[in-house]
Amino acid sequence: MFRRMGYNIKQAFVQIKRNKAMTFTSVLAITAMMLILGVFFVATININLFAEVVKQDFDMVELYIEEDYSLDGIKKIGLEYESDEGVSKVEFRSKEDALEIMKSRWGDNGYLLDNLGGNPLPDSLIVYVKDAETAKIIASEALDVEGVEDVKYYQETVEKLTKTTNFIQMASLVIMLFLVLVSIVVVSNTIKLTVFARSKEIRIMKYIGATNWFVRGPFFIEGIIIGLIAALVSTGLVAIIYDNIMAIIGADIIRILSVPIVPIEYLAVNLAIIFVALGVGIGSCGSVISMRRFLDK
Amino acid sequence: MIRFENVTKRYGENVGLEEVTINIAKGDFIFLVGPSGAGKSTFIKLILREIKPEEGEIYLDDMCVTQISNREVPKLRRKAGIVFQDFRLLEKKTVYENVAFAMEIIHKTKKEIRRQVPQILSLVGISDKAYKYPEELSAGEQQRVAIARAIVNNPTVLIADEPTGNLDPTTAMEIMDLLNKINRRGTTVVMVTHAKNIVDVMNKRVIAIKDGRIVRDECGLYDLVCEESSDDDTDEEDLYV
Ligand SMILES: Nc1ncnc2c1ncn2[C@@H]1O[C@H](COP(=O)(O)OP(=O)(O)OP(=O)(O)O)[C@@H](O)[C@H]1O
Ligand SMILES: [Mg+2]
């Protein structure tokens, strides 16, 4: 069929022109599928990224030190933890450092913290651990240590998060597969109409010795074109939607929450690649399926 | 060239062909005659692998039609030019394009197509209509185009299922002259017909089928071979031609 690419493409466009309404309908249907798919995709990516970032807190336990506890005392606690086999490193973070870190996280809004009138943050020890078990033990026993006021440890959150993300991933996968199947059915039905309209012609072609691929060629290309158009439209739409959602939430809030967000440029490129591959796949499968019965004999 | 060995084809309870054995030599011109429902079209469909027999083997040249895979069917059909009663031209293509299309299918170059198509159009006597569409042509002219398409790739056999069925007697005879001409160029011709006078005039080998069986196979006249059935279906056809 590739020897006759020019013929196939020309013929495909003729068919599309003859069947504008149906072509439009299937592009629309596939675009709708891809939109849902795209939203799932974007959400999944962001949730995954978020989970990854949160998981980094998993290997550390933050111990908040009582107000006015002596520096020597703090050092002692630190050394004690450092001797633990499961601990890789202990870091001291003064209340000033903590404020600095927070300010940098808040970025342009950091000035808000200047008006606090004093530093409400405590000194802290950050205990980096080698495994989750140690973190659990340290976290559960730390409150009994003299000088430790509070413990920040996200284990439960992280576990829940992992479970949730796994679930979301599985669910998205199932839904995406389903959507892809629906799309294939939609495309194959559109193309079936073109095939019906040209059944006489196809029969003649077969009589004079045309191979199945010769007959299929234009329909194959037609399917691919439908898929491609849908892919491009949906990439654009998803990008616009994503951009708008981010704008509504606002960059400031996102930064303050310190939630990482995948940049739109990166997403758009990947989405385009995925959608194009998917569109071509759906279109070609749809066309081949729609002609199966026709070319059997 | 075409060989049937003990071929039986049934459609459920209907008999298409029953234990047919026959040999058609290269360069032959044969008429396939018989009453309606005798199995003539079945015979042709079997050669083209449109249907498969329950029993027996069919050969076209060196190809065993009954054994080839579906993928090889196009190759088989390119060995045979086919002409139908209802022409079956592509309506959206001109005469020239219809004939050229048969060459495009087998990946002939543009140059070959440009050289070959006018030659064939002139052979079938339709050069002046090259850029007309099928619907602008008379039935006889359309059949000429169909014949041109069938022979443009130099098939070893030309198969025609009642090619004159839709034509008036004069035009029919013209088409027969054309088929004869093609046959003299070396192409085997197998033609199904009900037209007594055509068979009589041509004086070729006549194979008569009835109820799926070959009842006669000899050179000469329609009557000679079809006496048992000449009283029913064939009469009205005789009037027509
Ligand atoms: N697709 C089919 N299904 C069932 N029976 C069929 C089918 N095709 C043909 N037959 C039967 O097979 C027998 C032979 O049919 P065939 O078409 O070969 O006859 P024919 O000689 O070409 O007749 P005609 O001169 O009318 O064209 C007939 O009895 C017909 O009813
Ligand atoms: Mg018939």
Tell me the pLDDT tens digit for each residue of B125-153.
999 999 999 999 999 999 999 999 999 99
Residue A87 sits in the same domain as residue A196: no
Any ligand 1 atom below 6 A from CB of B36: yes
Residue A28 sits in the same domain as residue A168: yes
Say if the ipTM goes beyond 0.85: no
The confidence score (pLDDT) of residue A22 equals: 79
At residue B34, does pLDDT exceed 70? yes
Residue A196 sits in the same domain as residue A235: yes
**Residue A233 banded pLDDT, cuts 50, 70, 90:** very high
Determine, for residues A207 and B74 on separate chains, whether the beta-carbon distance falls below 8 Å: no
Minimum CA distance residue for ligand 1 atom 14: B39
Q: Which of A99, A134, A153 is the last residue of a domain?
A: A153
Per-window interface: A 168-227 vs B, CB < 8 A? 200-201, 203-212, 214
Residue A106 sits in the same domain as residue A42: no
Residue A131 sits in the same domain as residue A257: no
Any ligand 1 atom below 6 A from CB of B16: yes
Neighbours of B129 (CB within 10 A): 20
Residue A277 sits in the same domain as residue A179: yes
* pLDDT tens figures, A24-61: 888 888 898 888 888 888 887 887 777 777 666 667 78
* pLDDT tens figures, B208-231: 999 999 998 988 887 654 444 444
Highest mean pLDDT among A24-28, A106-110, A254-258, A290-294 belongs to: A24-28
Atom index in ligand 1 nearest the CA of residue B209 equals 21
What is the overall mean pLDDT for chain A? 82
**Residue B176 banded pLDDT, cuts 50, 70, 90:** very high
The confidence score (pLDDT) of residue B58 equals: 96
Which of the pair, A249 or B211, is modelled with greater confidence? B211
The confidence score (pLDDT) of residue B138 equals: 95
pTM of the predicted protein model: 0.70
What is the overall mean pLDDT for chain B? 89
Any ligand 1 atom below 6 A from CB of B198: no
Cβ contacts of B57-60, under 8 Å, gap ≥ 24: B57/B3, B57/B4, B57/B5, B57/B6, B57/B7, B58/B2, B58/B3, B58/B4, B58/B5, B58/B7, B59/B2, B59/B3, B59/B5, B60/B1, B60/B2, B60/B156, B60/B157
**Residue B240 banded pLDDT, cuts 50, 70, 90:** very low
Any ligand 1 atom below 6 A from CB of B94: no
Q: Which of A120, A153, A186 is the last residue of a domain?
A: A153
Mean pLDDT for the stretch of residues B4-28: 94
Q: Which residue do the tokens 């081949």 mark?
A: A288
Which of the pair, B240 or B89, is modelled with greater confidence? B89
Nearest one of B155, B143, B161, B147 to B187, comparing CA atoms: B155
Instruction: Determine the structural domain holding residue A117 and report its residue range.
Output: 59-153
- Cα–Cα distance between A15 and B154 in angstroms, integer? 32
Residue A147 sits in the same domain as residue A162: no
**Cα(B234) to centroid(ligand 2), Å:** 13
**Cα(B42) to centroid(ligand 1), Å:** 6
Q: Please report, for chain B, the start and end positions of each structural domain, with discontinuous segments joined by +.
A: 2-226
Among the residue ranges A104-118, A273-287, B79-93, B216-230, the one predicted with the least confidence is B216-230
Separation in Å, CA of B45 to nearest CA in chain A? 11
Mean pLDDT for the stretch of residues A83-104: 84
Mean pLDDT for the stretch of residues B90-115: 92
The answer to whether residue A17 neighbours chain B at the CB level (below 8 Å) is: no
The CA–CA distances, whole Å, from A261 to A204, A239, A270, B27, B56 equal 57, 14, 15, 79, 72
If one looks up domain B2-226 in CATH, what number appears?
A: 3.40.50.300
* pLDDT tens figures, A144-203: 888 888 887 766 666 777 788 788 888 888 888 888 888 888 878 877 877 887 888 888
A207 → closest Cβ in B75, B82, B104: B82
Give the count of Cβ contacts less than 8 A between chain A and B. 45
**Cα(B39) to centroid(ligand 2), Å:** 7
Among chain B residues, the shortest Cα distance to A201 is held by B90
Residue A67 sits in the same domain as residue A197: no
The confidence score (pLDDT) of residue B126 equals: 94
Any ligand 1 atom below 6 A from CB of B196: no
CB-CB contact of B15 with A262 (8 Å): no
**Residue B184 banded pLDDT, cuts 50, 70, 90:** very high
Provide, as residue numbers in chain A, all residues whose Cβ is less than 8 Å from the Cβ of B155. none
The answer to whether residue B78 neighbours chain A at the CB level (below 8 Å) is: yes
Q: Which residue do the tokens 């159009």 mark?
A: B121
Which DSSP string corresponds to B94-143? -HHHHHHHHHHHTT--HHHHHHHHHHHHHHTT-GGGTTS-GGGS-HHHHH
Who's near A249: CB < 8 A, 6+ residues apart? none
A207 → closest Cβ in B88, B92, B104: B88
The confidence score (pLDDT) of residue B234 equals: 44
Residue A285 sits in the same domain as residue A182: yes
Residue A165 sits in the same domain as residue A288: yes
Separation in Å, CA of A208 to nearest CA in chain B? 6
In chain A, the number of structural domains is: 2
**Cα(A36) to centroid(ligand 2), Å:** 55
At residue A291, does pLDDT exceed 90? no
A209 → closest Cβ in B71, B77, B92: B77
Residue A49 sits in the same domain as residue A70: no
Dig out the tokens for B202 from the structure.
Answer: 């041509």
Q: Which of A130, A153, A176 is the last residue of a domain?
A: A153
CATH of the domain at A122: 3.30.70.3040
